[in-house]
Amino acid sequence: MRNKKFVLDANVFLEIIFGQKLQDIAKKILEKAILNEIEIIVPGLALDEIAEVLCGNVNDEKIIAAHFNYIDKLILNGIIKVVIPSTKVRLEAIKMARIGNKKSGYPEYSNSLYHTLAILNNATFITNDKKHFAKVKNLGAIKLLCDLSEFL
């Protein structure tokens, strides 16, 4: 893949945490970041979205802590760059979230935030969200995790 910067949706991390079918691709993406072959960027929102899913699906707080300790280690070692979106990013995300119509629906703001972050950082947004992808694929800078077999 030509682009070396990626914005990962929270659902990419959740593939690994819950051992889902695309976990091997998600793990390979992290491995490439650990080897400094690619750069991973996430908005701070990603950590809260992961926490929200863990809160509702994992009762053992030690397991939750272990997942966040690993993510913290990746952040502290510079493997994942967490950013606070600027006003510019937020305003562009709002514009993106207003694309669409009543029949097909509109992109969610949170997905638009990730996607806008990718566009403005010359990166590619990687997601499992097929609905978001279908609504905004024409904007570019987006790939579905399931289409990234080149990472394997």
- Domain membership of residue 152 (yes or no) is no
Indicate the pLDDT class of residue 152, thresholds 50, 70 and 90: low
- pLDDT tens-digit profile of 93-128? 999 999 988 887 899 999 999 999 999 999 999 999
CATH number at residue 103: 3.40.50.1010
Side chain identity, residue 73: K
70, 32, 41, 33: which is closest to 152 by C-alpha? 32
Half-sphere exposure of 66 (CA within 13 A, CB side): 7
CA 134 to chain centre: 16
pTM of the model: 0.94
- Domain membership of residue 51 (yes or no) is yes
The number of distinct structural domains making up the chain is 1
Domain that residue 39 falls in: 5-147
What is the residue whose two structure tokens read 């950082």? Answer: 121
Indicate the pLDDT class of residue 149, thresholds 50, 70 and 90: confident
- Domain membership of residue 122 (yes or no) is yes
Cβ burial, residue 149 (10 Å; 0-12/13-18/19+): exposed
pLDDT of residue 151: 74
